[in-house]
Chain A
Amino acid sequence: MSDLDRAIAQLRACRPIPENEVRELCHKARELLIEEGNVVTVNAPVTICGDIHGQFHDLMELFRVGGDVPDTNYLFMGDFVDRGFYSLESFLLLLCLKVRYPDRMTLIRGNHESRQITTVYGFYDECLRKYGSANVWRYCCDVFDYLALGAIVLGASNTLSQPSGAGMAPAGEDVEIEVCNADQQIISRFLRKGDIGGSQTGGSQSGASGSPERGGGEGGSPNGAGQQPTTNGFSEGGSGPPAPTNTGPPGSGASGASGGSVGNPAGAVLCVHGGLSPLIDNVDKIRLLDRKQEVPHEGAMCDLLWSDPDEIDGWGLSPRGAGFLFGADIVKVFNHRNDLSLIARAHQLVMEGFKEMFDASIVTVWSAPNYCYRCGNVAALLELSEDDSGLGVLARSNGDVNRSDGGMGGQGPRGVLMENDLLGYNRAGPARRYRVFQAAPQDSRGMPAKKPVADYFL
């Protein structure tokens, strides 16, 4: 058993590793991360996770639900630390796994992976408390500076892989979204638009009148009413062949733009902790940033880690004091320009664990259940399955600098896309399987140890 494997075992037991091992680990991790670009390319299949915030036992639950490393290929979208009691153990375990299985573990930076934020929100205090000095905090912060800013998932399929649970009905080619619980049971399925012909969903009908639904941000999302769920009814829903030309009413949800044909790869998925920046109009501009620094207070790098989508037009000031708010129009133009089918991001607590917005052009994934021991939310992870048609890699070039126009040239000059163009536009969304899970059971959470109180009480 190598030292690394031993460290992994110890951290899995929620026991911190000695300071010198942390130093060594961080050194190795940095050597690895320094080679990564600002935007890491990840091939599907991949399981995408949101904020962890030091909820170690829930992270273990996440691995139980999503599969262990290296069997499952993971992408964590940052905010490993702060607020929770076990930020140290959580982050070091993820880092160990990164070093041990570099190709099966992708870590990108969240706004909490910063010196300044961790001195405010707990990680610094935690390191002091657990090691008696700030050294470990310092080693970790040095690693933070090297974490990638985003990732592009290539080769995601627009059909779901077969469910892993025994005896489960296979997902038809027309299933766009499947929601499962922690026990591998399907909670609900959502078909692609084209398959719901004649559905009475209010959302679809109003969308047909020509006005985009912006208000709810729920189009095509299981969080909202935009699409007809086929809860426990996939046998009926999955029966009909997809209607090939039906792309759904404008703006009404994920469309069947793919035509439902087997093996038609979905567009790429951009993963970033917070969201978009007014300074970044294409993915290549992220690649040009100098990321190896503390998160700045403003600018593109800051925005990527801090921004939030919101029901507004264009850009708005963020009440967080960093980053921006951005509306559906921004996301749609960005996705179109970059040949993306989806943006996956974290950064905001969501009761249901995940929330798709803006006609499923962006999704928030949140992976800290019962946040702060009290929010009562469930957590989620997002699985994208692999497209095995072999078409995927050729169809996309957005992983590289100087890529082509993404094949969307027919819709007008880049950058001056009219809103009308967007109404009917929907890059084939990848099929998405969300697994939602609850907080880990209360047992086996270790023993309390009183520590010296703060100076105020001496």
Chain B
Amino acid sequence: MEPPPPPAPQSPASQSPPISQLPRLEILTPTQLSTGNCFGPLQKCINSGPDVSFFLGSKAYKDIMTWITQLNHSLVPRSSVDTARPVSFPLTPNRKDWSEPVRKLRELLQKAEGLMGDAPPEENKNRRFGNGSCRVWHRLLQERVGGWLGELGEGWGERVKEELKGYFLGSWGDKGRLDYGTGHELSFLAFLGGLWKLGYFGEREGQEGQEAEREIVLGVVEPYLEVARKLITTYTLEPAGSHGVWGLDDHSFVPYIFGSAQFTRPISSTRLEPTPVEGSCPGAPKPASVTSKQTVEDYRKTNMYFGAIGFIYDVKKGPFWEHSPMLFDISGIKDGWGKINKGMVKMYRAEVLGKFPVVQHFGFGGLWRWEQDPELAREAGGQSVHVQSQPQSSGTGQGGVTGGTKAPWAMGGVTGGMGGPSGGQVSMPRPTDGGVVAPTGFPRGSGVPVPRGGTPNTGPLEQTSFPRGGGGMHDKVGGNQFSVTKAPWAKD
């Protein structure tokens, strides 16, 4: 393996300066909660490339990043004053003593998983790829989730519950296209973050130990990912929106963030330190060991990064370096898991949150607000990498898809620059000359002959309807016309 390119200059990492406080997601006050109107069914606000730019300066975006870095930080090992060995935070599959809120969420996930038993995959030789029974599972979930969420907390207004329900239902892929991707994963994080804002996990403002956050990741996020993986394999969700070997992963992103945090260099347990940007925890396996199936087996039950890679080994055949070259390249990083963790967070901002095809389906409301954040607006002078990478008029999509690739421009006439993958993809410099020909077309719908047989019926409005042409999504084709044709991890 070749050494990675010379590392960029960095701050002295072995001794990060203390920080005064950790950014944490604010818990909503009763007053904020009672200003009722802003809550309700989730609103789709991202309809074009420029909307993504607004999103990247919004309160919702700021809160999402706060939430992720907050969870991320909680997993960093702590040096201990009592023992020479640092305390790390592995997955604990057999743990029983979860806090009450976490225990209830785990039950919720188990119930969702249990529905798969009521929707066994159909034996239909005639199907093309994805299994239509996944739609039965989605229907069952939709029918029951209201009651289940009601059991989680009391005193939340109906409109607040409506939002939580939207994020929860959005966490399991698209039932029309039979796909699953990082957009759905994001929806689940938003669900959890919403619960946090509602004080569901307690009023933890003063707590420094971050035990609550840790429990959320280890006790809820990981089991969620396991249910999602089971969905993917049970219903053979198709890889159509995937970037193939040129993306990080076909479906997932956050386990690579949180898993690398679990292995990063320990920080002080007594004073606040920022998340390390290099170094590894003593005893952590080397990043290069992801290519060893045995090492992956050894760690997949305790580490989320290895858990995700273990799933890749489960479903993919062939040499690791060939089917997952991006993860293979990352495994050559010499500066430890801290470096990988830092890179993953950066990459998540750019390749998931900064990509139109992924975030276009994200819904906004009172929990995650579609409002400009003054602080981000001030910083906006220096454009962040993801703003720059934002397509202005031709989407680059990663799209969801049916049985195949989704047209990058499929959404609201965004046109595109960087490729945004489903599973997260590296941005490369885009060609500057002779490059992408700017499309001259209008959004579909105008100027196209009216399809014979009249207008396709319009199905029920769905959060995940696919966009076509202008802003008015929701022109989902009626019935189950997508049926088996859509691919799974199309991130949407």
Partners in one complex: yes
The interface size bin for chain B is 35 or more
- Tell me the complex Cα distance, A324–B176, Å: 16
Contact flags A275-304 to B (C-beta < 8 A → 1, else 0): 000110000000000000110111100000
Among candidates B129, B321, B452, B454, residue contacting A349 with C-beta atoms closer than 8 Å: B129
Q: Which of B4-12, B108-116, B187-195 contacts A (4 or more CB under 8 A)?
A: B4-12
Contact check, A324 vs B451: say whether CB atoms are below 8 A apart: yes
Contact check, A458 vs B5: say whether CB atoms are below 8 A apart: yes
Chain A residue contacts of B409, Cβ below 8 A: 116, 297, 321-322
Contact check, B403 vs A348: say whether CB atoms are below 8 A apart: yes
Chain B residue contacts of A278, Cβ below 8 A: 448-449, 451-452
**B319 within 8 Å of A (CB atoms):** yes
**A317 within 8 Å of B (CB atoms):** yes
Contact check, B317 vs A325: say whether CB atoms are below 8 A apart: no
Among candidates B128, B315, B330, B428, residue contacting A128 with C-beta atoms closer than 8 Å: B428
**B396 within 8 Å of A (CB atoms):** yes
Q: Which residue of chain A is the closest to B467 with respect to CB atoms?
A: A321
Contact check, B128 vs A121: say whether CB atoms are below 8 A apart: no
B183 to A: closest C-beta gap in Å: 15
- Tell me the complex Cα distance, A349–B128, Å: 7
A450 and B244 contact, Cβ closer than 8 Å, known pairs A349-B238, A350-B129: no
Chain B residue contacts of A299, Cβ below 8 A: 441, 448
A321 and B410 contact, Cβ closer than 8 Å, known pairs A314-B452, A448-B321, A453-B4: yes
Chain A residue contacts of B236, Cβ below 8 A: 375-376
**A442 within 8 Å of B (CB atoms):** yes
Chain B residue contacts of A121, Cβ below 8 A: 243-244, 246, 405, 419
**B88 within 8 Å of A (CB atoms):** no
Q: Which residue of chain B is the closest to A119 with respect to CB atoms?
A: B419
Contact check, B340 vs A325: say whether CB atoms are below 8 A apart: no
A445 and B410 contact, Cβ closer than 8 Å, known pairs A134-B431, A314-B451, A351-B128: no
B1 to A: closest C-beta gap in Å: 4
B72 to A: closest C-beta gap in Å: 15
Contact check, B407 vs A321: say whether CB atoms are below 8 A apart: yes
Contact check, A453 vs B468: say whether CB atoms are below 8 A apart: no
Contact flags A116-138 to B (C-beta < 8 A → 1, else 0): 11011110111010000010011
- Tell me the complex Cα distance, A349–B179, Å: 14
**B96 within 8 Å of A (CB atoms):** no
Q: Which of A158-166, A249-257, A366-374 contacts B (4 or more CB under 8 A)?
A: A366-374
Contact flags A64-86 to B (C-beta < 8 A → 1, else 0): 00000000000000000011110
Count the A-B residue pairs with Cβ separation under 8 angstroms: how many? 295
Contact check, A318 vs B426: say whether CB atoms are below 8 A apart: no
Chain A residue contacts of B128, Cβ below 8 A: 348-351, 355, 364
- Tell me the complex Cα distance, A83–B437, Å: 22
Contact flags A219-249 to B (C-beta < 8 A → 1, else 0): 0000110000000000000000000000000
Among candidates B238, B243, B453, residue contacting A375 with C-beta atoms closer than 8 Å: B238
Contact check, A321 vs B466: say whether CB atoms are below 8 A apart: yes
B131 to A: closest C-beta gap in Å: 11
**B328 within 8 Å of A (CB atoms):** yes
- Tell me the complex Cα distance, A306–B346, Å: 34
Chain B residue contacts of A141, Cβ below 8 A: 434
Among candidates B4, B405, B456, residue contacting A316 with C-beta atoms closer than 8 Å: B456
Contact check, A124 vs B419: say whether CB atoms are below 8 A apart: yes
Among candidates A310, A374, A457, residue contacting B483 with C-beta atoms closer than 8 Å: A310
**Residues of B422-452 whose CB lies within 8 A of A:** 425-431, 434-437, 439-442, 444, 447-449, 451-452
Q: Which residue of chain A is the closest to B357 with respect to CB atoms?
A: A120
Contact check, A124 vs B428: say whether CB atoms are below 8 A apart: yes
Contact check, A374 vs B426: say whether CB atoms are below 8 A apart: no
**B177 within 8 Å of A (CB atoms):** yes
Q: Which residue of chain A is the closest to B246 with respect to CB atoms?
A: A122
The interface size bin for chain A is 35 or more
A117 and B405 contact, Cβ closer than 8 Å, known pairs A85-B325, A138-B431, A458-B7: yes
Chain B residue contacts of A391, Cβ below 8 A: none
Contact check, A450 vs B328: say whether CB atoms are below 8 A apart: yes
B254 to A: closest C-beta gap in Å: 15
Q: Which of B15-23, B148-156, B474-482 contacts A (4 or more CB under 8 A)?
A: B474-482
**A385 within 8 Å of B (CB atoms):** no
Contact check, A116 vs B416: say whether CB atoms are below 8 A apart: yes
**B280 within 8 Å of A (CB atoms):** no
B471 to A: closest C-beta gap in Å: 14
- Tell me the complex Cα distance, A120–B355, Å: 11
Contact check, B245 vs A83: say whether CB atoms are below 8 A apart: yes
A17 to B: closest C-beta gap in Å: 20
Contact check, A349 vs B428: say whether CB atoms are below 8 A apart: no
Contact check, B407 vs A216: say whether CB atoms are below 8 A apart: no
Which interface residue of A315, A347, A458 has the most chain B CB atoms within 10 A? A458
Which interface residue of A54, A278, A317, A355 has the most chain B CB atoms within 10 A? A317
- Tell me the complex Cα distance, A278–B448, Å: 9
**B31 within 8 Å of A (CB atoms):** no
Which interface residue of B416, B425, B481 has the most chain A CB atoms within 10 A? B481
Q: Which residue of chain A is the closest to B441 with respect to CB atoms?
A: A297
Chain B residue contacts of A454, Cβ below 8 A: 326, 329, 343, 347, 426-428
A319 and B400 contact, Cβ closer than 8 Å, known pairs A349-B240, A458-B5: yes
**Residues of B388-412 whose CB lies within 8 A of A:** 394, 396-411
B393 to A: closest C-beta gap in Å: 11
A120 and B408 contact, Cβ closer than 8 Å, known pairs A85-B322, A308-B403, A320-B401: yes
Q: List 7 A-B contacts (CB under 8 A).
A: A54-B244, A112-B405, A122-B244, A321-B466, A373-B245, A373-B322, A448-B322
